Structures are given as C-alpha cells and as structure tokens.
C-alpha cells in the first residue's frame, strides 16, 4: 500500500542533521519511506511519476508533530498484572522482588499472553512502535511464544528476549529455588526460540535476544554459554540488568570480588551486541569500558525513581561515548507504559542535582530526550533501519496532536512541547507501513474486553497469594 502523510505542523526527522520540516509530508511505499520533505517537495516528487506514485490512502496531519516511532529498549510486560504491589508502600528492588516472585511464579500461558497484549497496547497508544521485552520466568507451561503471539496480533516491531534465572536462594541467589530453571533446559529453549522465531533481515519485525536475568540470579557459566550461543547467530543480541542498585554492587563485590561492569567484562559480556538495563551505579572506569566496547545502556528513569535505585549519570555516559536508549521497564516498577512520558521523565531527572552533580536546567534538552527515545533506542538494539524518518528507512512513525488543551500556548516550539507539556497520546501510528493507531485508538482491538480479561487474570494471581 502507498500512503501519503501530509500537512504535519512539524516533522522531527531525527536524521543526522536533526532536520525539522515545517508543513511536512512523508510518502510511504509498503513498509518503507519513499519520500520526505515539505508538502511542496513531496508533491513535486509525486508529480515526476504520477501513475506510480499515486497514494492509496492519505492522512491529514494538520495540528500534529510527526516523529519516528519511539523505541522501548527494556520492559517486563508480564508485570502489568501486578501494578502497585510494593511500589505504593516504598520497597527497594531486592525486597520488592522477594515480595513479587511468588506471585509471578503462578503465571500461566494465558497470563503471559494477556499481560503482553495489554502492555503492548498501552505502549502503542503512547507512541512506541518497537518494544524489547525481558521475560525470565517460565512457570506452568508459559513460553516466550505466548507474548510473541500478542505482539504479532498488534503489529508491534518486537525484540523479545529469552530471559532466565538459574541460581536460587539455596545457592546464594535472590529468587526462590522453585522459580529457577536448569541451565541445560534454558540453553535448549534459547536455541529453540532463535531457530523458530528470529529474523535478522533488514526491516525485521521480530528479533530474539538472550537475557540471563541478573548477576544475582544466574551463574557465570550460563552467562558465558548464552553469549557464545547468541554470537553464533546473526543479529541475536545479549541483554541483562546491570549496576541497578547499590545492593547489587555490594553483592557483586562480596560474591565475585568485582563491580558489576567489571564482572560483565570478565564473562565476555561487553561489546556492540550487548545492552544493559539501568546502569545507575557505574564508576568512572566502568563508563569508559562501556564506551570503548560500544556496549549499550537502557535508561529507565521512572523505575529507578520509584524503587529508589538512584539517578543514572546519563549525561556523563553520553558525553563519554556510551550508546544510551530509553525503557519503560517493568509495569510494576513504573506502574505505567508511556514511552513519551518516559522520555519527559528522563529529561526532567537529568536536570535534578545529586551528589557530585549540581542541578542544571541545561543538562538535557527536550530534543535530546526525543533522540534517546528514537535513535538511541534503535542504536542499543542494533537497528539502523528504524529510529529516524529518512528515505530508505522502515516506515515506523507516530503523529502526536499539538492543537488541543494540553499544548495550548506552546506554539513557539511544538517539538519541545512534546516533552515540556503533559505527555500526549499517539493520534496516528504506523509500523512497517501498517496503521496500528488511528484517531487515538487501535483499530480492531476491543480494549474494554482486553482490560476485563487482564484484570480477571490479575485477580486470580492475587487471590492465590
């Protein structure tokens, strides 16, 4: 299908020059961007071959800012089932996990599917078009396949990671022994999902990653063997939580004699095919190692705040060459799935002072936050086909309305208004050339029924607790 998006107040392309196009237009041919520019420029391009460049569908974007689709680099979709548990009362990470592990351990395939579909729908409505998810518990027959089904139904560009936990409490780990898996089974299932689902081709809608959960829940052997397996397949990336809390740093020093980033390095877990969630507590040497190895970092500001994990030194990491993207993180350690809101939170949090850093309003601009949510996310996922609006890139884009009450008076800079004003919902979203959000709704999705079924599943988990 050929589609013409025309009349955007501004297109924030996020290309190498950060071009912003007033009265902008985009011509989409199938799943790819064929032309972009001002309305006059795109109309002139269409006129060069009117028969071949006649759109099948037109979208009027007057009153909108058009951006690349937002990229969520770290999530736990299953946690939509257990929002507010521990976060309202104020638990830190380790105590929060210990509270929730037994509840999560009762999930079945239907719970994983429903939680993924609801979480992905919420993300779509917030402007996300690509989502990386980290599922690391597979109880009662649940498989990574269950959330892949949900993503395919919604048309999300999906990077699910086959997570794992293999070191339980009796071996010095944090999770209950009943929730860990045998490592030979983990590796066998990791190979299965790669062979069954992974697509390394440009424009891929589904790429698998391998994601042993954390230094306090898996063995060094599993980390090494997972890395070897991933690196034997094209475009299979490695992911884990790292340097999230001061407790984790103490755990790594006590158990391994190394700080978390140094421990990852000792296992061969630094490189341009690796991205880490959080990295709130790196030391200076660790930041250098991340930069020199081209390892990626997914910043999760809301989760880091609600669990009191700390403020990641994002400005310093960026200035020293670390690739940084954004993630919503678990829906139960954020209690929301709003990617545009997460970008706003990242901007605000970096402006706040903390020990060693004075408060500075210019530490992160609105446009830098938008870059983290688009090009930054694409970079940590190893994607050069998404993250910006350019000819030849995948047709992933989202239009946010800026002509309503939330943005009234923000006429001087509608792009910055996406971050400084109340976070807007997506009005139109296109992924791989397919309309997935239209007029602020997901076509064909009975959202009311999905919420009802999801809440029933959530109540079943909680009733057994």
Last residue of a domain, one of 380, 408, 423: 380
Q: Once rounded to an integer, what is the mean pLDDT over residues 378-406? A: 98
**Which pLDDT score is estimated for 321?**
98
Is 55 contained in some domain? Answer: yes
Give yes or no for residue 68 having a pLDDT over 90: yes
User: What is the predicted pLDDT for the residue at 465?
Assistant: 62
Residues 401-424 have a mean pLDDT of: 96
Q: Is residue 459 part of a domain?
A: no
Confidence of residue 151 (pLDDT cuts 50, 70, 90): very high
3-state class (DSSP) for residue 423 = coil
Q: Where do we find the tokens 């208004």?
A: 417
Q: Is residue 80 part of a domain?
A: yes
313 neighbors 282 (Cβ within 8 angstroms) = yes
Same domain, 104 and 245: yes
Residues 421 and 360 in one domain: no
Q: How much of the chain exceeds pLDDT 70, in percent?
A: 100
Q: Where is average pLDDT lowest: 67-76, 86-95, 128-137, 143-152?
A: 86-95
Residue 436 burial (10 A CB sphere; 0-12, 13-18, 19+): buried
Whether residue 443 is contained in a domain is answered as no
Asked, for residue 150, whether it belongs to a domain, the answer is yes
Convert the pLDDT of each residue in 80-97 to its tens digit. Answer: 999 999 888 899 999 999
Percent of the chain with pLDDT strictly greater than 90: 95
**Structural domain for 195, as ranges:** 70-380
6: domain CATH number is: 2.30.40.10
Task: Work out the mean pLDDT of the chain and round it to a whole number.
Answer: 96
Bridge partner residues of 2 (DSSP)? 29
CATH of the domain at 176: 3.20.20.140
Q: Are residues 180 and 127 in the same domain?
A: yes
Per-residue model confidence as pLDDT tens digits over 427-455: 999 999 999 999 999 999 999 999 999 99
Average of pLDDT values for 404-423?
Answer: 96
Same domain flag for 366 and 406: no
Look at residue 9 and tell me whether its pLDDT is greater than 80: yes
What is the per-residue pLDDT across 292-344, written as a single tens digit (0 to 9) for each? 999 999 999 999 999 999 999 999 999 999 999 999 998 888 888 999 999 99
One domain, residues 277 and 319:
yes
Mean pLDDT to the nearest integer, 119-130:
98
pLDDT at site 354: 75
Query: Is 253 exposed, middle or buried, given 0-12, 13-18 or 19+ CB atoms closer than 10 A?
Result: middle
In terms of domains, do 226 and 185 share one?
yes
Q: Are residues 349 and 396 in the same domain?
A: no
Give the separation between CA 276 and CA 134, rounded to whole angstroms: 11
Q: Which of 363, 380, 397 is the last residue of a domain?
A: 380
Residue 256 belongs to a domain: yes
Residues 135 and 106 grouped into a single domain? yes
Range list of H helices, 310-446: 314-319, 339-351, 366-371, 377-380, 414-420
Residue 355 pLDDT grade (very low, low, confident, very high; cuts 50, 70, 90) = confident
Predicted TM-score of the model (pTM): 0.97
Residue 114 makes CB contacts below 8 A (sequence gap 6+) with 81, 150, 450, 453, 454, 457
Tens of pLDDT, residue by residue over 243-286, are: 999 999 999 999 999 999 999 999 999 999 999 999 999 999 99
- Mean pLDDT, residues 181-189: 98
CA distance 377 to 71: 5
In this predicted structure, what is the pLDDT of residue 57?
Answer: 98
pLDDT at 413: 97
Whether 235 and 160 share a structural domain: yes
Q: Which of 37-51, 75-89, 258-272, 366-380 has the lowest mean pLDDT?
A: 75-89
Do 47 and 78 share a domain, yes or no? no
287 lies in a domain? yes
Which of 333, 357, 380 corresponds to the end of one domain? 380
Number of domains in the chain: 2
Q: Are residues 212 and 246 in the same domain?
A: yes
Do the domain assignments include residue 447? no
* pLDDT of 357: 73
- Same domain, yes or no, for 90 and 186? yes
């Amino acid at each position: 299908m050929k589609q013409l998006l025309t009349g955007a107040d501004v297109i924030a392309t996020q290309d190498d020059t950060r071009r912003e196009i007033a009265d902008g237009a985009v011509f989409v041919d199938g799943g790819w961007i064929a032309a972009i520019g001002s309305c006059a420029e795109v109309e002139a391009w269409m006129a060069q071959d009117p028969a071949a460049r006649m759109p099948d569908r037109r979208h009027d974007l007057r009153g909108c800012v058009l951006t690349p689709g937002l990229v969520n680099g770290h999530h736990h979709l299953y946690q939509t089932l257990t929002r507010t548990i521990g976060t309202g009362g104020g638990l830190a990470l380790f105590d929060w996990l210990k509270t929730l592990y037994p509840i999560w351990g009762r999930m079945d395939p239907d719970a994983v599917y429903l939680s993924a579909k609801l979480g992905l729908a919420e993300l779509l409505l917030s402007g996300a078009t690509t989502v990386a998810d980290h599922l690391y518990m597979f109880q009662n027959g649940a498989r990574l396949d269950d959330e892949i089904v949900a993503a395919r139904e919604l048309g999300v560009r999906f990077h699910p990671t086959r997570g794992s936990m293999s070191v339980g409490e009796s071996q010095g780990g944090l999770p209950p022994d009943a929730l860990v898996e045998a490592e030979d089974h983990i590796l066998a299932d990791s190979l299965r999902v790669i062979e069954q689902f992974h697509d390394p081709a440009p424009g891929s809608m589904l790429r698998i990653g391998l994601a042993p959960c954390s230094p306090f829940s898996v063995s060094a052997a599993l980390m090494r063997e997972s890395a070897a397996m991933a690196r034997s397949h094209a475009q299979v990336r490695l992911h884990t939580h790292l340097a999230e809390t001061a407790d984790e740093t103490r755990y790594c020093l006590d158990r391994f004699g190394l700080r978390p980033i140094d421990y990852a390095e000792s296992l061969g877990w630094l490189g341009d095919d690796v991205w880490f969630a959080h990295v709130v507590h790196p030391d200076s040497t660790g930041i250098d190692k991340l930069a020199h190895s081209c390892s990626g970092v997914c910043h999760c500001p809301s989760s880091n705040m609600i669990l009191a994990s700390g403020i990641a030194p994002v400005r310093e990491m960026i200035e020293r060459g670390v690739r940084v993207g954004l993630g919503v993180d678990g829906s139960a350690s954020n209690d929301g799935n709003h990617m545009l809101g997460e970008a706003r939170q990242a901007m605000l949090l970096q402006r706040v002072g903390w020990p060693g850093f004075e408060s500075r309003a210019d530490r992160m601009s609105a446009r830098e936050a938008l870059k983290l949510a688009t090009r930054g996310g694409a970079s940590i996922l190893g994607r050069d086909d998404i993250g910006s609006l350019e000819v030849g890139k995948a047709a992933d884009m989202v239009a946010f309305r800026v002509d309503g009450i939330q943005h009234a008076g923000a006429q001087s800079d509608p792009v910055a208004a996406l971050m400084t004003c109340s976070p807007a919902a997506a009005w139109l979203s296109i992924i791989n050339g397919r309309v997935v959000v239209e007029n602020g709704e997901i076509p064909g999705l009975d959202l009311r029924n999905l919420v009802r079924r999801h809440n029933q599943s959530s109540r079943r988990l909680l009733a057994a607790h």
